[in-house]
Structure 1
Amino acid sequence: MVKQARTYGGVSADQRRATRREQLLEAAFEVMALDGLGGLTIRTVAKQAGLSTRFVYESFTDLDDLVVAAFELAFRQMAATVDTAVAATGPDRRDKVSALVEALADFFLNAPAKGKLLSTKAYGHPAVAARRLARSEDVSRTYGALLHGLLADRTPDDPAIDLAARFLVGGFGETTTAWIQQSLPYPRDKFIHDNVELFLATIAAVERL
Structure 2
Amino acid sequence: MFLMTDGRLGSGLVSSSAEEAWRGTTADERARQRRDQLLAAGLGILGDGGAQALTVRAVTRAAGLSPRFFYESFADRDALAIAVWDEQYAEVAELVEGAIAEAAEDFASRIRAALLVVARWLEERPARGRVMLNETLADPLLRRHARRRLPELVLGTMVASVDPVAAAALRPEEIQLTVTALSGAIVNLFLEWNAGAIDVSADYLVEAVVEVATAGLERLLRT
Which TM-score bucket, shorter chain as reference? 0.7 to 0.9
The one-letter code of the counterpart of 1:145 is V
Equivalent residue for 1:60?
74
Contact (CA 8 Å) 1:101, 1:192: kept in 2 or not?
yes
Contact (CA 8 Å) 1:161, 1:206: kept in 2 or not?
yes
CA offsets per residue over residues 31-50 of structure 1, 9 Å max, x none? 23332332222222122222
Equivalent residue for 2:177?
163
Q: What percentage of residue pairs aligned between the two structures are identical?
A: 26
1:23 CA drift (Å): 1.5
Moved over 6 A (4+): none
Secondary structure of the structure 1 residue equivalent to 2:184: helix
* Correspondence 1:18-97 to 2 at 5 A: 18-97=32-111
Contact (CA 8 Å) 1:121, 1:177: kept in 2 or not?
no
Contact (CA 8 Å) 1:24, 1:46: kept in 2 or not?
yes
Equivalent residue for 1:114?
128
Report the more deviating stretch, 32-41 or 79-88: 32-41
1:10 CA drift (Å): 4.2
> Which one of 192, 201, 207 corresponds to residue 193 of structure 1?
207
- TM-score normalised by length of structure 2: 0.79
Relative to structure 1, the CA distance from residue 94 to residue 140 in structure 2 (aligned partners, 3 Å threshold; closer, same or farther) is closer
Report the more deviating stretch, 199-208 or 64-73: 199-208
Q: Which runs of 5+ in 2 are unaligned?
A: 1-21
Equivalent residue for 2:137?
123
Report the more deviating stretch, 188-197 or 107-116: 107-116
Q: CA RMSD in A?
A: 2.4
Q: Number of paired residues?
A: 202
Relative to structure 1, the CA distance from residue 151 to residue 161 in structure 2 (aligned partners, 3 Å threshold; closer, same or farther) is farther
Equivalent residue for 2:155?
141
Contact (CA 8 Å) 1:121, 1:174: kept in 2 or not?
no
Relative to structure 1, the CA distance from residue 147 to residue 86 in structure 2 (aligned partners, 3 Å threshold; closer, same or farther) is closer
1:158 CA drift (Å): 4.6
1:90 CA drift (Å): 2.5
- TM-score normalised by length of structure 1: 0.84
Q: Which runs of 5+ in 1 are unaligned?
A: 1-7
In the alignment, the residues of structure 2 paired with residue 141 and residue 201 of structure 1 have an alpha-carbon distance, to the nearest angstrom, of: 15
Relative to structure 1, the CA distance from residue 153 to residue 104 in structure 2 (aligned partners, 3 Å threshold; closer, same or farther) is closer
The one-letter code of the counterpart of 1:63 is R
